[in-house]
Chains A and B, each alone.
Chain A
Amino acid sequence: MRTHSLLSLVAVVLVTAACGSTPDPEQPVPQAGVDSAAMRARQDSIDAENRRRAEEEARRAEADRLAREAAARAGQVRTDLTSVIHFDYNVADIRSDDRANLDRKAAILQANPSVRLRISGHADERGSDEYNLALGNRRAAAAKMYLTNKGIDGSRIDVISFGEERPVAAGADESAFAQNRRDEFEVTSGGDTLVAPQ
Chain B
Amino acid sequence: MRRLAIAAALLAVAAPLAAQDRAQDAIRIGITYRPGTRPGLVVLPGSGADSARAIVKRDLDYSDRFQMIETGTSAAGGPVNYEYYRTQFAADHAVEIVSASGGVVVRLHDLAARRVRNQQTFPLPAPEAAGFRMAVHRISDEVTRWADGTPGYAASRLIYLSGDRIHRVDNDGADDTAVTPGGEKALSSAWAPDGRRIAYTRFSAGRGSIAIRDLSAGSAETVHGTDADLNFSPAFSPDGRTLAFARAEESGATNIFTSNVASRCCLQRLTVRGFADNLSPTYSPDGRRIAYVSSRAGPPQIYVMSADGTDQEVLASFDYGATGPSFAPEWSPDGASVVFHREVSRSPQIFILDVASGRVKQLTSVGRNEDATWAPDGRHVAFISDRTGRRQVWIVDTETGRVRQLNTAGAARLPSWSRLLGG
Q: Establish whether residues B230 and A127, one from each chain, have CB atoms under 8 Å apart when the complex forms.
A: no
Given that A128-B371, A130-B280, A141-B250 are contacting pairs, would A90 and B414 also be in contact in the complex, using a CB cutoff of 8 Å?
no
Q: Mark A132-154, 1 if CB is under 8 A from B, else 0.
A: 01111110111011000000000
Partner of B232, one of A130, A141, A144: A130
B residues within 8 A CB of A137?
230, 248-249, 252, 254
B370 at the interface (CB under 8 A from A): yes
Q: Interface centre among A130, A138, A141, A144, by most B CB within 10 Å?
A: A130
Q: Which B residues, 231 to 262, have Cβ-Cβ distances below 8 Å to chain A?
A: 232-233, 246, 248-254
Shortest Cβ distance from A166 into B: residue: B206
Stretch of A22-30, A41-49, A76-84, A157-165 on the interface side:
A157-165
A180 at the interface (CB under 8 A from B): no
What would be 14 A-B contacts, judged by CB atoms less than 8 Å apart? A90-B299, A92-B252, A126-B343, A128-B370, A128-B371, A129-B413, A131-B277, A133-B187, A133-B230, A133-B254, A134-B279, A141-B252, A160-B230, A161-B230
Partner of B246, one of A130, A158, A165: A130
Given that A120-B206, A160-B205 are contacting pairs, would A134 and B250 also be in contact in the complex, using a CB cutoff of 8 Å?
no
Given A126-B346, A138-B253, 14 further pairs, Cβ under 8 A: A127-B327, A128-B341, A130-B293, A130-B414, A131-B277, A131-B280, A131-B325, A134-B254, A134-B295, A137-B249, A138-B254, A142-B252, A160-B207, A161-B248
Interface contact tally, CB-CB below 8 A: 88
For chain A, the bracket of interface size reads 20 to 34
Q: Establish whether residues B248 and A131, one from each chain, have CB atoms under 8 Å apart when the complex forms.
A: no
Shortest Cβ distance from A154 into B: residue: B250
CA distance A160 to B208 in the complex (A): 10
Shortest Cβ distance from A128 into B: residue: B327
Q: Establish whether residues A131 and B207, one from each chain, have CB atoms under 8 Å apart when the complex forms.
A: no
Q: Establish whether residues A130 and B327, one from each chain, have CB atoms under 8 Å apart when the complex forms.
A: yes
B151 at the interface (CB under 8 A from A): no
Q: Mark B148-186, 1 if CB is under 8 A from A, else 0.
A: 000000000000000000000000000000000000010
Partner of A130, one of B207, B233, B250: B233
B188 at the interface (CB under 8 A from A): yes
Minimum C-beta distance from B132 to chain A (A) = 35
Minimum C-beta distance from B233 to chain A (A) = 5
A residues within 8 A CB of B413?
129
Minimum C-beta distance from B149 to chain A (A) = 36
Q: Interface centre among B248, B251, B325, B348, by most A CB within 10 Å?
A: B248
Minimum C-beta distance from A67 to chain B (A) = 35
Q: Establish whether residues A133 and B328, one from each chain, have CB atoms under 8 Å apart when the complex forms.
A: no
B residues within 8 A CB of A120?
206
Partner of B279, one of A126, A131, A145, A165: A131
CA distance A134 to B229 in the complex (A): 11
Main SS class of interface, B: strand
Q: Establish whether residues B248 and A133, one from each chain, have CB atoms under 8 Å apart when the complex forms.
A: yes
B residues within 8 A CB of A162?
206
Given that A90-B299, A130-B327, A131-B293 are contacting pairs, would A140 and B203 also be in contact in the complex, using a CB cutoff of 8 Å?
no
Shortest Cβ distance from A143 into B: residue: B252
Q: Establish whether residues A133 and B251, one from each chain, have CB atoms under 8 Å apart when the complex forms.
A: no
Partner of B188, one of A130, A144, A145: A130
Q: Mark B334-375, 1 if CB is under 8 A from A, else 0.
A: 000000010100101000000000000000000000110000
B333 at the interface (CB under 8 A from A): no
Q: Establish whether residues A133 and B252, one from each chain, have CB atoms under 8 Å apart when the complex forms.
A: no
Shortest Cβ distance from A142 into B: residue: B252
A residues within 8 A CB of B248?
133-134, 136-137, 161
Partner of B325, one of A90, A133, A142: A90
A residues within 8 A CB of B348?
126, 128
A residues within 8 A CB of B277?
131, 134-135, 138
B300 at the interface (CB under 8 A from A): yes
A residues within 8 A CB of B414?
129-130
B residues within 8 A CB of A126?
343, 346, 348
Minimum C-beta distance from A119 to chain B (A) = 10
CA distance A128 to B328 in the complex (A): 7
Minimum C-beta distance from B167 to chain A (A) = 16
Minimum C-beta distance from A120 to chain B (A) = 5
The 7 closest A-B pairs by CB, nearest first: A141-B252, A160-B206, A128-B327, A137-B248, A134-B254, A134-B277, A130-B233
Q: Interface centre among B205, B206, B252, B327, by most A CB within 10 Å?
A: B206
A residues within 8 A CB of B187?
129-130, 133, 165
Shortest Cβ distance from A126 into B: residue: B346
CA distance A140 to B325 in the complex (A): 21
Q: Which B residues, 284 to 301, have Cβ-Cβ distances below 8 Å to chain A?
A: 293, 295, 299-300
CA distance A162 to B299 in the complex (A): 20
Q: Establish whether residues B206 and A130, one from each chain, have CB atoms under 8 Å apart when the complex forms.
A: no
B residues within 8 A CB of A140?
252
Q: Mark B184-225, 1 if CB is under 8 A from A, else 0.
A: 010110000000000000010111000000000000000000
CA distance A134 to B232 in the complex (A): 9
Q: Mark B110-152, 1 if CB is under 8 A from A, else 0.
A: 0000000000000000000000000000000000000000000
CA distance A126 to B327 in the complex (A): 11
Given that A129-B413, A133-B230 are contacting pairs, would A145 and B252 also be in contact in the complex, using a CB cutoff of 8 Å?
yes
Q: Which A residues, 80 to 112, have Cβ-Cβ distances below 8 Å to chain B?
A: 90, 92
Minimum C-beta distance from B231 to chain A (A) = 10
CA distance A136 to B188 in the complex (A): 16
CA distance A158 to B341 in the complex (A): 32
Shortest Cβ distance from B255 into A: residue: A134
